Structure 1
Amino acid sequence: MKSVSRLMLGMIVAGCAAASASAFAAPTDPSAPKTRAEVRADLIEWRAAGFDPLDWINYPENAQRAGAIVAQRRAARAAAGVPMPGQSQ
């Protein structure tokens, strides 16, 4: 029983290592579809900038204001040399 658990743990670790290695090796293509994790990260970033997807009354202004804040933050990170999530240097 203990050897089966170690075997499963080894398979999980190997799978995670292979997945992370392929993720770092892949070049980023801006026209490629986003992964679910990238979409979630974008939503978190927009919500941190003040966007509320449930605020339909102030929708256009709310989204435009948050979009400007997100663009400024991304430009500041790019100027500082900090890679965007999902990008390699």
Structure 2
Amino acid sequence: MKLTSLNRLTVRALSATFVVSAALLATSNGAYAQTSTTPATHQLTRADVRHELEELEAAGYDPSRGDDSNYPADIQEAERKVAAMHAAQTSALNDNQPAMQTMPTH
């Protein structure tokens, strides 16, 4: 009689483990499917990264400073300037005006 109760308990524990595992697997696959459904942009090349770094350096970011106490703020400011320059260039192209050639100063 004890053996039968033990077998039932083992089967229930394994069933519960299976259900939990299946639920986790289903949710993780769903999460992966959601992230992978976004349209893929072109893969960055070394030239793309180098160009971005050159733009950031032109906007005032200096990666050679090493452990800079201003680190996140200085690159974020440079990124903001580059984004503003790109927005101005896009706007100029859309308005058929000459594109901005220099970095914004504010």
Q: TM-score, structure 1 length as denominator? A: 0.53
The count of corresponding residues between Structure 1 and Structure 2 is 54
SS at match of 2:87: helix
Distance in 2 of aligned mates of 1:79 and 1:30: 25
**C-alpha deviation, 1:62, in angstroms:** 0.4
Equivalence for 1:34: 44
Deviation digits for residues 41-69 of structure 1 (CA, Å, limit 9, x no counterpart): 11110000001113322101101110110
* 53, 58, 63: which one aligns with 2:70: 58
- The answer for unaligned runs of 5 or more in structure 1 is 1-28, 83-89
Segment drifting more, 54-63 vs 68-77: 54-63
Amino acid at match of 1:58: N
**C-alpha deviation, 1:34, in angstroms:** 1.1
Deviation digits for residues 7-52 of structure 1 (CA, Å, limit 9, x no counterpart): xxxxxxxxxxxxxxxxxxxxxx872221111111111100000011
Structure whose CA Rg is larger: 2
Distance in 2 of aligned mates of 1:63 and 1:41: 15
Q: TM-score, structure 2 length as denominator? A: 0.45
Is 1:78 paired with 2:93?
Answer: no
Distance in 1 of aligned mates of 2:81 and 2:40: 20
Q: Which has the higher helix share?
A: 2
Is 1:68 paired with 2:58?
Answer: no
Provide closer, same or farther for how the CA distance between residues 63 and 30 of structure 1 changes in structure 2, counting only shifts above 3 A.
Answer: farther
Provide closer, same or farther for how the CA distance between residues 46 and 77 of structure 1 changes in structure 2, counting only shifts above 3 A.
Answer: same
Is 1:49 paired with 2:65?
Answer: no
Amino acid at match of 2:71: Y
